[in-house]
Structure 1
Amino acid sequence: MISQYESSTDVSYYDTDMLAKIKRNVTTLGNQIKKNKRKMWIDWELEITTKFPSLVPSSSIKLELSRISNRVFLLPNFPLNNEIERIKPPNNNSEPSSVYAGTSPYKGYQTPIKNIDGFIDLFAMGKLGKLNVIGWNASDTEYIRYHGFLDRTDMINQMSKNSIGFIPWKKHPFHPYCSPNKAFEYAHTGLVVFSTNSLQPIFDTLLDNVIGFNDYPEMVEKFKNLISNTEELFTKRVKTYEFARSNLLWENYENNIFEAYKQA
């Protein structure tokens, strides 16, 4: 909300004291409606968090809210065990392919926190292999296939046919708190996860089972190095798959739900 309503200021991901700058800039905003919405949102969050137990999806959010409440419980957006128990271990694919799961721009507008402008174009010439895009309806090309919306079972099956899963969102101030579930779905289907390194909760969760990058040129370099070594690629896939089955499960955190309700 802060980023949305203050996008006209000079706040950026790279600011070392972003919150202090936001507090200074908010007093200079000319749009009173936006200021009021921002204030309402903060007031609501403070009121709810101090009065009631809260369930949050990332450790970074938990850390922030724990400064004002000792009843904040972590509930990562992991799949249930019965959703992943039928997923088979990775196969050593002869030709590595990649997948991106996400929603397409709406009327040409890309959600700022999920901006992937230019990413799909990188695969158009075939130098990075084939890319499967889940959640978009568009015309297929020689190297890019669009699968549209899939139900959960079909989505998991399609992911499993690939070697690498991408979360190539361009850096955004909200990313340190953002924990997209596609990272954990990728991991459960035996994909090597490539993520923008501003998405800190992914790295906190997957540890060394994720490859980070600052920008697309760095991403392409790391991607090419990995797919050129098929043995290393397969080893990473198996390691990620096994890590996910032990650690990235809803059941590992469901007691936090019961404790939150107990305290409510």
Structure 2
Amino acid sequence: MIKSILVGLDSSENQTIVKKYAFEIAKFLNSKVNGVHVIDIRKLYSPFVEDIFYSTGMASVPDLQSLVKDRLQKISEVLQEGFNNSLKEYDVEGEFFAKQGNVSEEIANCAKINDLLVIGTKGEHTSISEILLGSTFSELVLGVNKPVIVVPEQCKRFYIKKILIAYDGSTNANQALEIITQSVKDHNFELEVLVVNNSHVEDAEQTLKEAGSYLDNHEVKWNGRIVKGEASTCILEHAKATKCDMIAIGSYSSSKMKDFFIGSVARELLEETTLPMLLAN
């Protein structure tokens, strides 16, 4: 049950749509929404900032660290004001948390006391995009150990009518199925269940049957299909062909050797899709 949603906030261009996804989903699930903004300590370290000035041919600025800190603090205050306005607009409960430190660590710590994290793939000065598509994304997901909805930079509006779940029978895929079932059942969304028949799925027909039985028991209408091919390509093509608005998938590879890393399929989807994705782990 999703009772509390955390949304990662910064000053990037797609924050409006990221925040909208968090609040709209909260309304669907009758959840509260908490917001977190992290001031990256790297930006408060003068030599790091001064290197930028030197690289552009500009002279050093006296007391640069204080100037940068003041600017970042003002950004945090603006984000807090916007978040509080959204709480009133959507009539949901929640709190805003201003943190300072390592971005991925602080977000992960806050997410531990929430049930779902919503975050974008484009962050201010690439800090958030480094988390999501760079080497530290695995650390964030592993540290959170909670479902994550990733809203890509290319997503320009909120719209959810049909959801595709890529199901392989794993524990993570079952968690994604449970979360999606909660939303689909209460709000009449359409659900597509896709099983990619490859080396990671022992019995594709049985796997689809298991998903179908769970959905039938919860009185959820669904369509199912088995396809064969490269997983990320099949998922993206099926999502496009069936006009889905969101993709849900377990976040890790089924290979035990890859338990410490985000699954290659999920990473490829994050890099290619224009749809929001639910990563369950």
Q: TM-score, normalised by structure 2?
A: 0.32
Q: TM-score, normalised by structure 1?
A: 0.33
Q: Which one has a larger percent strand, Structure 1 or Structure 2?
A: 2
